[in-house]
Amino acid sequence: MATINETNAVTAADSLLAQPLTGAAALVTGGSRGIGRAIALRLAQLGAAVAICGRDRAALDETRMALQRIKTPVHAESADVTRASEVAALVANSESAIGPITILVNNAGIGLFGPVQDQSEADWDHVLDTNLKSVFLVSRAVAPGMIRRAAGDIINISSLAGLNSFAGGALYCASKWGLQGLTACMAEDLRAHGVRVSSVCPGSVATEFSGKSPQQKPHALHAEDVAHAVAAIVTQAPNSFISQVQIRPLRK
């Protein structure tokens, strides 16, 4: 017959298996909707405290309430992650609310599509700043703390468009190809410090971003598929890391 102490030990072990990210603190950019929201909820379900940012206050509040129902510490903040000053404030406020960031998911992104000759300089700046510059700024802000603690995960949400080209995708593909290069170099810069850097490259996902609902594109990926990949990365055994995940729908 098990003793009370043995029973408590088993219960604690079961809890750790169910919530392996207990004690972790995650920051998810673009976390108020779509893929970012699904990732934030999944990390919270795994036990992490979660900070999210976005520009839509109503969406932020709705996702914050959904996270709070999971009974995890939550911070939600409206921030423009293309501006260094706002990034610095976001990271400081997030760490004050939920603790030192141990997981960063760079998810904020936009897409503008059309023939390259029809795009403006403002379009270029908007896409590249949001999809690429923001990753540099937020990663630069959290990396020193991760280096001091000799641990951390940075996951950059890229796209299969970072590996392939298609008509009308010049700006978007440029941003995601750049993100692939940035991710690979960050991984080499930080791995000696115990910090793991990975990219997740999904195909078309049925979210507001793609403009396609599951009914319109029944075989498209879902946001939860990307969240599942992020969960696999951050629960990887500590002496290794998954450098890249490519996700495609099972059926075309």
In the 8-state DSSP scheme, what is residue 150? T
Between the two ends of the chain, the Cα-to-Cα distance in Å is 55
**Confidence at residue 17, expressed as pLDDT on a 0 to 100 scale:** 64
Which residues participate in catalysis according to the annotation?
A: 172
pLDDT digits (tens, 9 = 90+) for 164-180: 999 999 999 999 999 99
Q: Which residues of the chain have pLDDT under 70?
A: 1-17, 208-217
- Residue 221, sorted as left (phi over 0), alpha (psi -120 to 50) or beta, turns out to be beta
CA 92 → CA 42, 75, 126, 246, distances in Å?
A: 23, 11, 25, 32
Q: Report d(CA 157, CA 38) in Å as an integer.
A: 13
To which residue do tokens 């995940």 refer?
A: 245
**Confidence at residue 251, expressed as pLDDT on a 0 to 100 scale:** 87
pLDDT digits (tens, 9 = 90+) for 83-116: 999 999 999 999 999 999 999 999 999 999 999 9
Neighbouring residues of 241: CB distance < 8 A, sequence distance ≥ 6: 153, 187, 191, 196, 197, 198, 233
**Confidence at residue 247, expressed as pLDDT on a 0 to 100 scale:** 97
pLDDT digits (tens, 9 = 90+) for 67-82: 999 999 999 999 999 9
User: Which CATH class name applies to 21-53+60-247?
Assistant: alpha beta
**Confidence at residue 7, expressed as pLDDT on a 0 to 100 scale:** 42
- The per-residue b/e assignment along 168-185, b for 16 or more CB within 10 angstroms, e otherwise, is ebbbbbbbbbbbbebbee
The residue type at 214:
P
**Confidence at residue 18, expressed as pLDDT on a 0 to 100 scale:** 79
**Extents of the domains making up the chain:** 21-53+60-247
- Residue 242, sorted as left (phi over 0), alpha (psi -120 to 50) or beta, turns out to be beta
